[in-house]
Chain A
Amino acid sequence: MTDKAAPILEITGLSVSVSRDGAPTKILRDISYRIYPGETLAIVGESGSGKTIGALSVIRLLPPGGVIDSGSVLYAGKDLAAATEEELRGVRGAGISMIFQEPMTSLNPVMTIGLQLAEPLMEHKGLSYPQALPLCEKLLEKVGITDAKSRLAQYPHNFSGGMRQRVMIAMALACGPDLVIADEPTTALDVTVQAQILDLIDALKKESGMALALITHNLGIVAQRADYVLVFYSGRVMERGPAAEFFKSPSHPYSRALLNSLPKMSDKPGEPLKTIEGLPPSFDEALQGCPFSPRCPEAFDKCRTAEPPEFETGDRRGSKCWRSERGFKI
């Protein structure tokens, strides 16, 4: 996780819009970030902030009607934003793979676990099913599923929620990816199972040196697991930086408000929690200035008229807030 290593993925100025009924709506604006080997990058934000699209657009998994307007996604010397579908198919599930939130719905209920696990190996490594099976058995063992051989012949309904998520992880790992994008991988699970699954992902990450992009709304998970944090709001990265610094001294007022609204050990029962008034803007709303300014307790005149660019606030740290501008004075 050192800056000296080359990044696995370098995203620069990525903008995405979605057309519905012919009218394009901008949903990602000027997203830039890097992921280094072995790093856990947490992508946080409220629903509708663009955090999932922000992660999945790197392999061009866009919502219906979605297009990349500008920007580049550099992976292994190639720009994925400009790559052909054919080239992308070679990357998806191989060099960059995904784990989705709902292990119930992301597995095919009428295919055996073995066949589903073998699929990426057959697709990307050119193996036949009998050749892939011993590897599948090893993969299941790796994710802590005992009795792997007989489990391969079973169907998803024979597995509990936590076990299905282990199978999803095994599928994501099948081709030895450089990066795994995990979209809320533990949200549907019980808290003890959640801890086990995250421990497993951490252990596998250490073993293989892969990087992890973890999309989550749980700031506890971010504090415990992440090296680097991106905070999404209204399709923009409002703040980014190393996780420890982010929690210690968040740069952006939105980050501060988010951290303040969590109930903490030190809160006295009955004392009201600090909340963020109002609602996040919807993507088709015409906005002036900073998209957070209507809810921001620290906003001043300029915030309502001009949208701030990203200001550097430290090493690999940035904040889209006029208050982060060097030499800022009111």
Chain B
Amino acid sequence: MPVILEIEKVTKRYRKSGGFFSSGELFTAVDEVSLNLEKNSTLGVVGESGSGKTTLAKIILGIEKPDSGRVLLNGRELSKLSGGELRRARRGAQMVFQDPYSSLNPRMKVKDIVLEPLTVTGEKITDGEKTASDLLAKVGLKADALYRYPHEFSGGQRQRIAIARALATGPGIILADEPISSLDISIQAQIMNLLNELKKELGVSYIFISHDLAAVRYLCDFVAVMYGGCVVEYASAAELFRDTRHPYTRLLLSAVPDPDPYKKTVLEERREGSGAAPGPQACVFSDRCPRAVPDCSKQRPLYSEIKPGHFVRCPRTGDIEN
């Protein structure tokens, strides 16, 4: 499969807001992340809040520029483009947000909402009504929705409208940031089915940012686990859930309550972090890792391929038995 998105050693630092007279210290939100996304596949990005998932999404969309490293979308480096060229290149990646109640402008009609990605990138639309109703049809909504307002729709229908909007520019990639977590269970299944159908029909790829590991396992072909700005483990979804190697991934999986009362889930042993982030020469997880040895706080582990297609940023994975 051809690669549609290449992320090479991307790093992004922010300055924490300091006191009145002092500038804050630097904080690494995304730390040397390298990932590839194949055409027509789904990459899951999981991790807790503050792990850098959303910053990574912003960099992919060209909203933030990385401090180092580069992002190639369809072979073009977004941070090198500007003006009209950037606007056109950005059509290749679109976004679906978590909360369909705040991501749709309540004063805009559905037709204008779904056409907006085209109008803001300066595209001439000859037949807006037809374009918009075609987009709605793709997400299972009827054309009578065109002239209604977001408040007339349920949460699941609004998320469909948001997906129709993301499809407007015919993007190769849709970035979905927790697209189902604010929806009810029965509606979550409908939206997951829709995402899979669109993938099959239109050949789009997804980056699915989520903390719902059951949904990730169901939807994703590949999974990247982030912690402290780093990708600590990456593999195909089947491989990652079968042969989980990184101590953080194991902790994360052990924390997910199984909807089967006969399969008791027990949270893996863990340590409470000190609160202060480990220094730049230490492993990002070393202060909470139950398997840490003194070396872990002295040397940052390399991101290495332990078997074909399975990458881990931990030198001690050999000690972990499944």
Which A residues contact B (CB, under 8 angstroms)?
46-47, 161, 190-196, 198-199, 217-225, 243-244, 247, 257-259, 261-265, 267, 269-270, 272-276, 279-280
- Inter-chain CA distance A147–B279, complex, in Å, is 24
Q: Can you sample 25 A-B contacts with CB below 8 Å?
A: A46-B186, A47-B155, A191-B252, A191-B256, A192-B252, A192-B267, A195-B254, A195-B265, A217-B185, A220-B214, A220-B258, A221-B257, A223-B261, A243-B261, A257-B186, A261-B186, A262-B189, A262-B259, A263-B189, A263-B215, A264-B214, A264-B259, A273-B189, A275-B186, A275-B190
Interface flag for B251 (CB, 8 Å): yes
Answer yes or no: B34 CB below 8 A from chain A CBs. Answer: no
The reply to whether the CB of B193 lies closer than 8 angstroms to some CB of chain A is yes
Contact status A261-B188, CB under 8 Å: yes
Q: How far is the CA of A261 from the CA of B264 in the complex (A)?
A: 21
A222 contacts across to B, CB distance below 8 A: 259
The reply to whether B214 and A262 contact each other, CB–CB distance below 8 Å, is yes
Which of A191, A221, A258, A265: most chain B CB closer than 10 A?
A191
A247 to B270 Cα, complex, angstroms = 30
Q: A263-B218, A274-B189 are in contact. List 13 more A-B contacts (CB 8 A).
A: A46-B184, A191-B48, A191-B256, A220-B265, A223-B261, A225-B257, A244-B261, A257-B186, A258-B185, A262-B259, A264-B214, A265-B217, A269-B221
Contact between A224 and B257, CB atoms less than 8 A apart:
yes
Contact between chains at B259 and A273 (CB < 8 Å):
no
By secondary structure, the B interface counts as helix
Given known A46-B184, A244-B261, A262-B214, contact A272–B193 (CB-CB < 8 A):
yes
Which residues of the partner chain A approach B258 to less than 8 Å between Cβ atoms? 220, 223-224
**Shortest beta-carbon contacts, A-B, top 10:** A220-B257, A263-B218, A276-B186, A190-B48, A46-B184, A261-B189, A195-B255, A273-B189, A224-B257, A223-B261
Would you call B192 an interface residue if the criterion is a C-beta within 8 Å of the partner chain's C-beta atoms? yes
Given the contacts A224-B265, A273-B192, A219 and B211 also touching, CB distance less than 8 Å: no
CA distance A194 to B254 in the complex (A): 12
Contact A247-B260, Cβ < 8 Å, known A199-B267, A270-B196, A279-B154: yes
- The reply to whether B196 and A261 form a contact with Cβ atoms under 8 Å apart is no
Complex-state Cα separation, A243 to B259, whole angstroms? 11
How many residue pairs link A and B with beta carbons under 8 A? The number is 106
Separation of A301 and B30 alpha carbons in the complex (Å): 59
Give chain B nearest CB distance to A229 CB in angstroms: 10
Indicate whether B231 reaches chain A with its CB closer than 8 angstroms. no
Complex CA–CA separation, A269 to B42 (angstroms): 11
Cα–Cα distance between A272 and B238 once the two chains are bound (Å): 18
Asked if B56 is at the interface of the complex by the 8 Å CB criterion, the answer is no
On chain B, the residues within 8 Å of A217 by CB distance are 184-185
Complex interface: chain B residues within 8 A of A273 (CB): 189, 192-193, 218
Q: Is the CB of A190 within 8 A of B49?
A: yes
A263 to B256, CA, bound (A): 13
Which residues does chain B contribute within 8 Å of A261, judged by CB atoms? 185-186, 188-189
Cα of A211 to Cα of B257 in the assembled complex, Å = 21
Chain A residues in 8 Å Cβ range of B211: 190-191
Beta-carbon nearest neighbor of B51 in chain A? A190
CB distance from B232 to the nearest CB of A (A): 14
Tell me the complex Cα distance, A46–B185, Å.
Answer: 7
A45 shortest CB reach to chain B, Å: 9
Q: Could you tell me if B259 and A192 are in contact, using CB atoms closer than 8 angstroms?
A: no
- The answer to the question of B237 belonging to the interface, with a C-beta cut-off of 8 Å to chain A, is yes
Q: Across the two chains, which residue of chain A brings its CB closest to B258?
A: A220
Which chain B positions have C-beta within 8 A of A244? 261-262
Contact status of A220 and B256, CB under 8 A, knowing A190-B49, A192-B270:
yes
Q: Is the CB of B261 within 8 A of A269?
A: no
Residue contact B257 to A196, C-beta cutoff 8 Å: no
Chain B residues near A274: list those with CB within 8 A.
Answer: 189
Question: Which residues of the other chain, A, contact B221 by a CB distance below 8 angstroms?
Answer: 269
By a CB distance below 8 angstroms, the chain B residues around A46 are 184-187
Nearest-CB residue, chain A, relative to B221: A269
Q: Which residues of A contact B217 (CB under 8 A)?
A: 263, 265
CA distance A146 to B262 in the complex (A): 34
CA distance A194 to B213 in the complex (A): 14
Q: Closest A-chain residue to B200, C-beta based? A: A270
Name the contact of A223 in the complex, choosing from B155, B252, B260 (C-beta under 8 A).
B260
Which residues of chain B have C-beta atoms less than 8 A from A196's C-beta?
Answer: 267
Cβ proximity bits B179-207 to A, threshold 8 Å, 1 near / 0 not: 00000111111101100100000000000
Q: How far in angstroms is the closest Cβ of chain B from A270?
A: 6
The closest CB in chain B to the CB of A272 belongs to B193
Q: Which residue of A lies closest to B264 (CB)?
A: A224
Given the complex of chains A and B, what is the CA–CA distance between A194 and B219 in angstroms? 23
Q: Which residues in A have their C-beta under 8 angstroms from that of B48?
A: 190-193
Q: How far is the CB of A50 from chain B (nearest CB, A)?
A: 14
